Structure 1
Amino acid sequence: MLAVVAQLGLFIYFGTLTGVLTKAPWVYPYSWHPIFMGLYGFVATEGILLLQPSETGKQRALSRTVHGVLLSLSFVCAIIGFWAIYDNKDRKKKEHFTSNHALLGCAAVFVFALQVLFGLSIAYAPKALYRRIGQARITRIHRVAGYISIALLWGTLWLAVVTNWVKRNFNQEWIFYLGMGMLAVGLVGQITPSRLYLTRKRKSVAVSAP
């Protein structure tokens, strides 16, 4: 049920963003910024939601592969979106990183880049590289970093709702907030202490017969 709520929230937010994009006038290269940053947010969130259900057996390997592909694709979208707004500022002779939206967005992309590179190294680097750290600890670090990364991403998307571009082309911001609220409930509700490795598995103790 929580997964369905999260998916509905995701489609409400990005469906609304798509409507704003079709209404807004095309401005090169700025218009590429909301398009590709929107794709970055959508695909990255889907990549996180994909791993929320408990997987077993063959499903686990497949979901991790799709997870890696989606997050790598979303990183490419983030780079294109970053280039669009940076080039747009240069063309207009404006200063970079002057708003909270820009600063948080820059932090989100940077942390996301580290997370993607770390995930790829876990998947494809020699296993001996992380042998001393231990698989359980590596998984915990990657998972917690993923939650931090997605929080930064959605913080940026929240600040995007109050930008002048959105206000000029859309006056029903509450729809964005509805989508974000549903996603927050659906996603956070699935984060359990066991998924964060905050609880330890109980070890069974064999009792010898008297």
Structure 2
Amino acid sequence: MTSKTEMSEAELDARHADKMRKKKAARDKIMTTKTIEKGLLIVHTGKGKGKSTAGFGMVFRSLGHGHRVAVVQFVKGRLETGERMALDRFSDLVTIKRMGEGFTWETQDRQRDITAARAAWDAAKELICCGEHKLVLLDELNIVLRYDYIPIDEIVAFLRDEKPEDVHVVITGRNAKDELIEIADLVTEMTQIKHPFRSGVKPQEGIEF
């Protein structure tokens, strides 16, 4: 039997083409069984960087298709971010609600945080149900839920029973509650391997915000 190292480039190319042809046929067969189209509940969580970035990536992807989208920022409302400045260029398609007043260690006022979280959640429900948006990003909602500023049962009941079937909802933030993970269609956990912050590098424009 001829080893891979003894094969010519032409033979390697032919073997690769045959392998990819079989792979495509198998994938095409699988794809014919995927017929459901629905609004998804998507959760990006974990300790690694990239949760909000992934959420905003879906926002921009949806915009690329001409869809109307909405963003509710539960925590980072005061911070001027690159994402928000970029989205300002699509003001005809994007609704942004900057409802947060900063991280909890910055406000140091539990009742104030609860009031802000409640206002943001009320705005989120309205945007999800108004019939205008294909995708709604609830940025850092998991932070609000982590501190129990809004009952998780209330969030789950709305997303499970009242969210329109054709609206995608994306939720970001560390420590996603088990109840939320259970009803989600797609859950991704970001795992931190290395982070420059650990080496004394400060948050930088275009990378962190």
Pairwise same-fold verdict (TM > 0.5): no
Normalising TM by the smaller chain, what interval? under 0.3
Greater relative CO (CA pairs within 8 A, separation 6+):
1
Q: Which of the pair is proportionally richer in helix?
A: 1
Higher-Rg member (1/2): 2
TM-score (norm 1): 0.27
